[in-house]
Amino acid sequence: MRPVSGRDAAEIAALKADPREYAMMLGGVRSPEQATEELAADVRAWGAYGIGMWSARDRLTDEFHGIAGIMRRPDGRGMALRFAFETEARGRGYAREAAVAALHFAHERAGISRVIAVARETNAASSMLLTSIGMHEAPELAFTRDDYRMLVFVSEPSLYTVENWHWDRSSQD
């Protein structure tokens, strides 16, 4: 994983334009212009907050698989874990590995004490992934958006243990 950059623009735009990958994300499917604007904002976030979105790529081939990272939610709920992967990349553990790395970075490197993640109640795959990496559902924070019940998961340094992470420290940098 590496911070997103202009080099990722075409692949990120394609990911965000595909309803199989992006329909359930906050704001839904994006136009090429929206994807470009968001990429610019993601690049700026690295400078402003020292954290942001990463491009997830194969270590050997550099093939793009998706994005993951931490961003400030536009609805004021705080810093949030987000991830989206190409359909062809699903089921290979990439999203889990990227989510673990993003949370680890947020807590250990960026000093963010509380990270949330939001998933539609009907999105069982995301809910299972979030709990598998040590995030805990916070029923009191659930809300409704566009007639969908949205579940909120929380990660705080005190809530996870090394066993939750399966973090390979040799791949940190």
Contacts for 156 with CB less than 8 Å, ≥ 6 apart: 107, 113, 114, 115
Q: Look at the chain and report how many structural domains it folds into.
A: 1
pLDDT band at 167, cuts 50/70/90? very low
H-helix or E-strand spanning residue 46: helix 32-49
pLDDT tens per residue across span 93-107 = 899 999 999 999 999
CB 68 within 8 A of CB 53: yes
Residue 88, domain extent: 2-171
The residue behind tokens 């999203």 is 95
pLDDT tens per residue across span 103-134 = 999 998 898 999 999 999 999 999 999 999 99
pLDDT band at 90, cuts 50/70/90? confident
Q: How would DSSP label each residue in 125-168?
A: HHHHHHHHTT-EE-GGG-EEETTEEEEEEEE-GGG--HHHH---
At 96, which CATH number? 3.40.630.30
Stated pTM of the model: 0.84
As a whole-number percent, the residues of the chain with pLDDT over 70 amount to 91
